[in-house]
Every structure is written in C-alpha cells, then in structure tokens.
Structure 1
Amino acid sequence: MPSYKDSHNTPFISSMYRKLLDYLDIGIHMVNAEGRSIIYNRKMSEMEDMNPEEVLNKKIMDIFLFESEEESRLLQALYKDKLHKDAKQVYFNFKGQEITTVNNTFPLTVDGEKIGAVEIARDITKLERLSRETSRGANEARFTFDQIIGESKPIIDVVENARRATRTASSVLIYGETGTGKELFAQSIHNGSTRASKPFISQNCAALPDTLIEGILFGSVKGAFTGATDHPGLFEQAHLGTLMLDEINSLSASLQAKLLRAIQEKSIRRIGDTKNRQVDVRIIATMNEDPVRALETNQLREDLYYRLSVVSIMIPPLRYRKDDLIILIAHFIRKYNRLFQMNVPKVTDDVLALFNTYDWPGNVRELEHVIEGAMNLIYDDEPIAYQHLPLHMKHKFSLSQDNGAYEEPSSLPASLPDQPLQEYMETIEKAYLEKALHQASGNVSQAAKSLGIQRQSLQYRMKKYHLSQ
C-alpha cells in the first residue's frame, strides 16, 4: 500500500485523476500531512493567478501572505481539524493580489491516519469588487414625480398614491413587471419626502449570492472572517435616508428573517460583531411579480411582506395604459433627437397602429429601446416606419395591404423552422427583397419606394444579401 505522506508525485494520484480535476469549474487545493501542496488544479490556478509550479510541493506560508498559520483555512483544517463550510475568505497571494473565495475546507483522514487537508473554492473576487463599488457610491436619487410620463388614469392614480407615501417614513412595497419604472417611483418618493437631502441607496438583491449580500446589508468587523475589515453595511450608509431593496423576494428565508428583525428593531449587527447599532432607515422594497404569488410559492416570508407592505404601490404595465403611448413615444423621440443630433418628427400612423396592438412585455423600457433602435437605422430626418422596427416586432405582425392595419401573419409555418430565428428572418427578408426587385424589373429606386424604405437602405441590404439589379 503506497504511503499517503509522499510528495506531490505520490503514485496513488494518477495523471488521469489530475486531468479530471483540471476539468472541474471549482478550485481544488490539497496539502499533504506536512502542509505541502500536492494538488492544485487549473481552476484554482486561474483564481489565484499562480502557476502550479509556483505552488506544488511548497508550504502554504511560503505561497500566501498570511501573517500567521491561524489565517490559513487549510492549515487550520490540517493541524486543528477545523471544518469550514461555505465560508468567505479574503487573502493575498505572494504577488500581493487580493483573492476572495467561498470555501469548503476540511481535513482528510484515511483509516484513522491524517493524510492532509483539502480546500474546494468558488471565486467571487469580481463579485466582491462589484459589491464594494455598490457600497462605496451612495446612489443619487435623480428622479422626481414630475419626470413620470403619462396622462392615463392608471398612471395618474398610482402617482397620486405614491405622492401620499412621501408624508411618512413607513415602509413601501412597489411591485410591477420588468420595465415599468419601479426605481423611478422609489426615487421620486425619496425626493418628495423629508429625507430628500439624506442618502438614497439601492441594491439589487438578486445580483449577488447570500454569502456576499449579508455583509453588504449589515457590514462586518475586523476578524469576522479571514481578511475582513471594519466595514459599514448599506443600512448604516443609508442612515436617516432611504434604502431601496430590489427583487426582495430573491433573498433566502434566513436573510429575510434578519432583514425583518433589522426593520422592526431599527438596529443591525455587523457580521462578527457583538453589539447592535441603531439605524434610522426607510425601506422601499421592489418586486417584479405579484407578492401574493411570491407568498404562495414561499419566495417571500409572510411576516416580512406585512412589514414591508404598509404602503403598497402596483405600477400598471404598459398594455394597461396604452393611452400614454403617444406621449411616451414623443418623449423618447425628443430624448434621442437630442442625443443623436437628429430631427426625427414622429412615428408613422402604421407604426402607431402596430404599437397599439402590441402587448409590450418589456413595458416602457422596451418602448424606449425600440425607439432608440429605430432611430439608429434612420438615414434622414424621416418618421420612424415599419422597416425601422426590430425583427421580433416585424415577425409578430405583418402589414395588411388592404386596410393598412397590422395583423398576425397568416403565412407562418405550421412548425418551427429548423434554424435560428436570426437566420430565418434574414431568409425571409432576402426573399421579400428579391420579389420587390423582380416586380420593379431591377429598378432600385422603384423597388425601394414599393418597400417604403430609402434607396440607400435597399442598396445596403442588396449588398448584404449579394443581390444584383
């Protein structure tokens, strides 16, 4: 039986196993009973920016800038049998580069003999950097109620309810589909309140894992985990102001419970701390789905829901406020005319008819992107027409030559084509252009006129599809 205490060339670790470890998308670092590295896979090498030759057969304290062996989870596992599960660790390699990981570290014992210790790591260095950038910059609340565009009854009603919420410091729950403008309302409530001169800080709760979000919200103290420093969380940074928590239902149940306690007691405890800190923060939570459904599917704790929904605001989707389409379209055209130095006057009547029949799953945000995209395709200061619209809208609707209204296309295949959507749409567009050119006997100007596009636009497409006159 081979000895487990040999160097990294130990026979029992075959080259096949080493290659297999290199295919894993998690970092693996193993030390033998003497504390020397015997396994250091490709992913760990990428995470720590060190070559295996710089690590293998070397002792941990020669590789990393630890002040003592106590700071190394691997050595704690090896010498003190300490286990760490899903534990965040911040450390430095011998090049001085900061590494942040979430680790599982444990000793290895075979037949009662300790053969070493292993660390399985997930790299969160980039996420940690993102969280610091989020925490450093107190978000500016730029929007006010005057910037909410709309004159329909649904939007006027919700703006009026939101204005009333500025009079108190009660928690607010805003829910609405993606693209309806939840943060716009949150910022408007903050700017209309007595807290307007204080911080407004927002955090997307779905953007970061639980291992990071807790420290971001509540902060940490030096020694809470390896590399931890005294760091105020978002609650402390938003003191006397407003903290907006987006996609609140994405938090785990345990974090929701800690959040509820912080809101009720108006105090937080940093990770690793022994004392509570008083905070005065107004919470505005947002969700992109119906809270009732989130409760039914256990995505949202019932007690947290009742605490947050002291004031509830439901932002209507664009399909329920289509009376606002004209004013919204005009607003976005003015916006991108300024940005692009253009003078686009409007959308055509046919496009407006299409917009009125479209469901707008992406809501106001989608409308803005459609206008912006269309204006990127316009050569002259002409109205936004059908040919300027994105492919997904062209695919959904076709222009009826009889009455000028848009209808669902009747010539779609019974089954989906065996090709990507982009390729399929280009095939359809090429065939449509060929037909127009044929009917115009190769006259580009006449074909462009029949297609409702500029001559230059048709010439561009002819070159793209290698079409001859």
Structure 2
Amino acid sequence: MKIENLTNAEMQAIIQTLVNMIDIGIHVVNKDGKTIIYNKKMADIEEMDPNNVHGKNILELFKFNNETESTLISALRGNATKKSKQTYFTHNGQEITTINDTCPLYDSTQQICGAIEVAKDITNLERIIRDNILKKGDTKFTFDHIIGKSIKIAEVIEASKRATRTSSSILIVGETGTGKELFAQSIHNGSKRSSYPFISQNCAALPESLIEGILFGTKKGAFTGSIERPGLFEQAEGGTLLLDEINSLDPTLQAKLLRALQEKTIRRVGDTKDKKIDVRVIATINEDPIDAIANGHLRKDLFYRLSVVSLFIPPLRERKDDTQILAQSFLKKFNYLFDMNVKSISKHVLALFEAYDWPGNVRELEHIIEGAMNLMEPEEVIIDVPHLPISFKQKATEFVDLAVYDENQFYEKDKEESKELLTLEDYMTNREKEYLEKILKEHDYNISQTAKTLQISRQSLQYRLRKFKLK
C-alpha cells in the first residue's frame, strides 16, 4: 500500500505509533495552543493522562511564571529555541525541568499553524545539582545519601546523627571504600557548623616536610621561600576539619595535633604566637585502632583524644543485605551520567554479589556497576554476568570455589534421582545453608567460634541462622 493511498485516520494511527515509540518527550499544539500530539514519553515525564491533555490549551494544564517562559507559546509567536532549559509545574503542583528543542510549524501559506516541542527530562538531575549548590564548599553528602537497611549500618547512622549535636572530636574507623568521608560530610551538614567550611585532607597524600605547614600554616621568613599562609585549621574556622588516614601522620606531627586539640590553639610554622581556633576535627583510620597503636602508627594519647565519639563503619561483607539496594542506586547514578536506560540487574549477578567477599567494599561495587554498564550494548537493559568486568568474575569464581561451592555444575538431585537445573541464586543459597550447618556442627553449635571461623560477626551469623531457620 502506497502512503498516498492511506486515509487520514490511518496516517494519524501511524504517526501516533511512531511518536509513542520514541524515548523522548514530544508535544505538539495547534495555533490556539491546544494539544494535538502528546506522546507516551511526555506523559511519563509529566505524569499526566494523555486523555486529559489532548484538546486542551497548555496554559490550562501547566503553570509558568509568565507566558514567555513557555517555549511552546514562544514558538507560536515565531521563536524557535534550541536546548532551552524550562522549569514549570503541572496542574497538581509537580515541578518539572526539561531541556527543549521547540520550533513553530507553518502551513502552505507560510502562516504559523502550530508548534512542536521535543523534551528531555532532567528533573532529578536538576534537583541533585540544586541541592549540592546549597551546600557550602565541597560538602555534598547528607544522611539521605547513605544507602542501606541492614541493622549494622542503621546503628552507625543513628550514632552519627546523635554526634551532630555536639562539637566533640570523632574517630571514624573503617576499611578502604566503606564510605568514611560520606559519614563525615553527613555529620558536618547535620550540625550547627554546616554553614561554615568543611575542609578535607588525606594525610597520606602529602610529604612529611610539607604537611605541618599545610595543617598549621606558615610565617613569612620561617624558611627559604616561605610565605604568610593560613593552614587548614584556620581555613576551617567555625567548621569541620576532616583528617583522612590519620595513622599516616608522623608521630611528631601527631603530638602537635594532640596539643592543638587539647589547647584549641595552633601555631604557624616559624611563628612565636599561638592562635585560637574553633574547629571540629573528624579523623578517619583504615585499620583497627588497637593494631595501629601496637604497630606505632597511632599515638595512644591521640587516639583517646580523637575517639570521644567512635564510629565503626561495617565492611560490605558484613552487611550483604545492602548489596542489592546499593547496586540499584549505582545503576540509577550511572544511568544519569551515561544517559543510559538500564532497567535492572539479573538474579545471577545479584547472586554473585551475595557470594562475593567485597575486599574493596562499597567503592568496589560502584566500580563494578560502572564497568558493567560500559560493556553493555545500547539495546540491552539488564546487567547480566557477561557484562561484568573480567577481573571481578575471576575473583568471584575463586571465592565461590574456595569457600563453599565445590561442584562444577548447578544441579541437584531430586527424590526421583532426576537432575533439575537450578538458578545460580538457588544453588548458592542451598550451598550456603549446607556450609553453615557443617561449621556449626564442627563447633558444637557455638555461635562465637562459628562466627570466628567464618570471619563474620555474631550478628551477621545470627541473621543467617534466622534466614535459614537453623538452630
């Protein structure tokens, strides 16, 4: 059938089908501003029922500060726009932000007969940017950014929120990649100091010869080439100073830091006068503080001074209940950054995540999701095992083979001696339960000894016993 032989109704049906297949918002109005085309994507963006939009003037449906802010109204006056950001409100008060390409439509007499708009939704991205701009300095994280529902992480969040009420020093203990700075920024932003600076310094990133001057400042003429320069303590006045990897500081500098904390004064390098400071210090350490003291990495007196409030961030292997929700959050993040539309993560991948030991913690999980999305084809919408980085698959396979899963095929005999193909998730669940039963029996069901052998906490073990209904 030739296109010229199609009826108007058939042509309209084809056009409507085409515009609904496009993954970008399309809105077309006639010369009176009434909607004649409104595709499915546009309806999703604005959460509007197309039946309530067709035939109505856009100014009846949406609220703008003034008419000129409507790019469609502007197009009806002959003004085309390219990549124009527009913020407006639906009839139910929902705020929408889009990037629009809009242009007028002309009839055969070159008179404007309508306008068409192609819109890309950036509502969530705009909200994230706006929220970050409202934060002073480089602090962008709040407690709302801490993702997890496990008991362990919930306890740390609650303790951190209580710590926002005072100005006491805080020591945050956690392995690399557990999110220590996220907690530090959240505490700062939740405290009365949130309107003052948040200064962060990794103590392992600077040579010992420079870090004293960076921390406490320098006096002009103190040494060749020295200038009058405030240190991090002075720059953070009234706010918070985060000292990351405090165990990397030279013991002599640790003694000077201890004095600054006790006396609430600092002295610039080369100066003879002390300067009063009002700064809250949050320090982080990536090893057990007791081990750090025993190995000479951390002064005992500094530890006692810093650990007025101590927060222990659990590694991801001890809060595996949060693995799925963390993975989904990173999926959303990289969908925005990469302009992708990946919908979900397969059960097989989630089962591998559950089995894996996560030596790199939450940061490693984030990098794996990012790497997987880089390997996906444009039409793929589910992260599956082939998309995972090769290095992760090798490590995960080694972990599964060594720890629990000594069979080469995912099969289990049923009562009739037949073989039934199991999902990877079901297989791993069965093997984990069997392994827990085995270790429990070896230790006469002693919870502490079993947890020690499995290298997990008692709380994590007790959760698994309840999960598998083991006594």
Q: Report the TM-score range of the alignment, normalised by the length of the smaller protein.
A: 0.5 to 0.7
1:391 deviates by 1.4
Residue type of the partner of 1:372? E
Residues 266-321 of structure 1, C-alpha deviation per residue, up to 9 Å, x if partnerless? 11110111111111110000011111110111110000000000000000011111
Give the structure 2 partner of residue 355 of structure 1.
353
Among the aligned pairs, what percent are the same residue? Answer: 63
Q: Distance in 2 between matches of 1:390 and 1:175?
A: 29
1:237 counterpart (225, 232, 235): 235
1:325 deviates by 1.3
Contact 1:172 1:308 in 2 (8 A): yes
2:157 counterpart (156, 159, 177): 159
Q: Distance in 2 between matches of 1:181 and 1:292?
A: 21
Alignment of 1:229-308 (within 5 A): 229-308=227-306
Q: Distance in 2 between matches of 1:196 and 1:218?
A: 22
Give the structure 2 partner of residue 184 of structure 1.
182
1:371 counterpart (369, 372, 385): 369
1:193 counterpart (177, 191, 194): 191
Residue type of the partner of 2:390? L
1:396 deviates by 3.2
Q: Distance in 2 between matches of 1:270 and 1:365?
A: 37
Q: Distance in 1 between matches of 2:344 and 2:140?
A: 28
Give the structure 2 partner of residue 59 of structure 1.
none
Give the structure 1 partner of residue 391 of structure 2.
392
Residue type of the partner of 1:244? L
1:341 deviates by 1.4
Q: Distance in 2 between matches of 1:347 and 1:400?
A: 23
1:405 counterpart (416, 424, 444): 424
Contact 2:344 2:382 in 1 (8 A): yes
Q: Distance in 2 between matches of 1:397 and 1:244?
A: 34
Residue type of the partner of 2:372? A
1:339 deviates by 1.3
Q: The residue matched to 1:293 in structure 2 has which SS?
A: helix
1:401 deviates by 4.5
Give the structure 2 partner of residue 204 of structure 1.
202
Q: Distance in 1 between matches of 2:385 and 2:308?
A: 45
Q: The residue matched to 1:167 in structure 2 has which SS?
A: coil
Give the structure 1 partner of residue 4 of structure 2.
none
Q: Number of residues paired by the alignment?
A: 271
Residue type of the partner of 1:274? T
1:400 deviates by 3.8
| 2:382 is aligned with 1:383 | yes
1:370 deviates by 0.3
Give the structure 1 partner of residue 21 of structure 2.
none
1:395 deviates by 1.5
Residues 318-364 of structure 1, C-alpha deviation per residue, up to 9 Å, x if partnerless? 11111111211111111111111111111111111111000011111
Contact 1:144 1:188 in 2 (8 A): yes
Q: The residue matched to 1:232 in structure 2 has which SS?
A: coil
Contact 2:368 2:392 in 1 (8 A): no
Residue type of the partner of 1:391? I
Consecutive unaligned residues in structure 1, runs of 5 or more: 1-137, 409-469
Task: Label 1:302 to 1:358 Cα distance change in 2 as closer, same or farther (>3 A).
Answer: same
Q: The residue matched to 1:220 in structure 2 has which SS?
A: coil
1:170 counterpart (155, 168, 171): 168
- TM-score normalized by the length of structure 1: 0.56
Residues 98-129 of structure 1, C-alpha deviation per residue, up to 9 Å, x if partnerless? xxxxxxxxxxxxxxxxxxxxxxxxxxxxxxxx
Q: Distance in 2 between matches of 1:167 and 1:397?
A: 42
Residue type of the partner of 1:175? V
Residue type of the partner of 2:215? L
Q: Distance in 2 between matches of 1:362 and 1:355?
A: 13
Q: Distance in 2 between matches of 1:355 and 1:400?
A: 19
1:392 deviates by 2.1
1:381 deviates by 2.9
Q: The residue matched to 2:382 in structure 1 has which SS?
A: coil
- TM-score normalized by the length of structure 2: 0.56
Q: Distance in 2 between matches of 1:166 and 1:354?
A: 37
Q: Distance in 1 between matches of 2:283 and 2:359?
A: 22
Task: Label 1:149 to 1:404 Cα distance change in 2 as closer, same or farther (>3 A).
Answer: same
Residue type of the partner of 2:383? I
Q: Distance in 1 between matches of 2:248 and 2:160?
A: 24
Q: Distance in 2 between matches of 1:139 and 1:253?
A: 30
Task: Label 1:141 to 1:219 Cα distance change in 2 as closer, same or farther (>3 A).
Answer: same
Contact 1:218 1:269 in 2 (8 A): yes
Contact 1:377 1:388 in 2 (8 A): yes
Q: Distance in 2 between matches of 1:211 and 1:189?
A: 31
Q: Distance in 2 between matches of 1:393 and 1:374?
A: 10
Q: Distance in 2 between matches of 1:145 and 1:251?
A: 29
